[in-house]
């Protein structure tokens, strides 16, 4: 009887592996739990080829996502400056603060590209002037744009 059985996982299982991973498990665990519940299949040469093809397609998709984010970064940095108008009091102090949603709206108005406000990081803005904002478009792609706070 075999000591371990190689199984390709169909779903992510805590403390075992992710979808598509090749894992070695006890034969009883594979025979009585993983295979009957459809959580894994016994690794055969054909199954391993399918897993490799899926992995290559996933890598291509991730590369396409990153390339699209790079293109958006170039477009944002080409425009460079976005203007946000705020009500101003004494000594050029603005009422309230500039929020990430306002920056996202300004970018969308200028470029017709929607942004997630959670990916935007701003310094503390409480006066009119020029500020640098960082926009996270992808885990590896961050665009830096200039935000101009101007009086209404």
* Cβ proximity of 18 and 12 under 8 Å: yes
Q: Which residues lie below 8 Å from residue 128, measured CB to CB, with a gap of 6+?
A: 86, 88, 92, 94, 149, 150, 151
Distance separating alpha carbons of residues 33 and 40, to the nearest angstrom: 9
Name the band, by pLDDT with cuts 50, 70 and 90, for residue 2: low
Distance separating alpha carbons of residues 107 and 114, to the nearest angstrom: 8
Which pLDDT value is given to residue 44? 93
- 111-121 average pLDDT score: 88
Q: Tell whether pTM > 0.75.
A: no
Q: Which residue in this structure is represented by tokens 């203007």?
A: 83
Core vs surface per residue 95-134: b (16+ CB within 10 A) or e: eeebebebbbbbbeeeeeeebeeeebebeebeebeebebe
Helix intervals (H) in 80-125: 100-111
- 19-42 average pLDDT score: 93
Which pLDDT value is given to residue 133? 92
Which pLDDT value is given to residue 62? 94
- 107-126 average pLDDT score: 88
DSSP label at 99? -
60 half-sphere exposure, CB direction, 13 A CA radius: 6
Tell whether the model's pLDDT for residue 110 goes beyond 90: no
Tell whether the model's pLDDT for residue 63 goes beyond 80: yes
Tell whether the model's pLDDT for residue 1 goes beyond 80: no
Residues in the chain: 152
Q: What is the mean pLDDT of the chain?
A: 91
């Amino acid at each position: 009887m075999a000591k371990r059985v190689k199984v390709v996982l169909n779903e992510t299982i805590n403390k075992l592996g992710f979808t598509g991973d090749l894992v070695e498990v006890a034969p009883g665990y594979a025979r009585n739990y993983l295979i009957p519940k459809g959580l894994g299949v016994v690794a055969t040469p054909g199954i391993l080829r399918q897993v490799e093809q899926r992995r290559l397609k996933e890598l291509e998709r991730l590369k396409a996502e990153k390339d699209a984010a790079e293109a958006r970064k170039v477009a944002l940095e080409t425009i460079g400056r976005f203007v946000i108008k705020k009500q101003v009091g004494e000594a050029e102090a603005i009422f309230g603060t500039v929020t990430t949603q306002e920056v996202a709206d300004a970018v969308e108005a200028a470029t017709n590209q929607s942004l997630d406000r959670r990916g935007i990081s701003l310094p503390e803005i409480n006066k009119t002037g020029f500020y640098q904002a960082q926009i996270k478009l992808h885990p590896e792609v961050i665009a830096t744009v200039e935000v101009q706070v101007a009086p209404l």
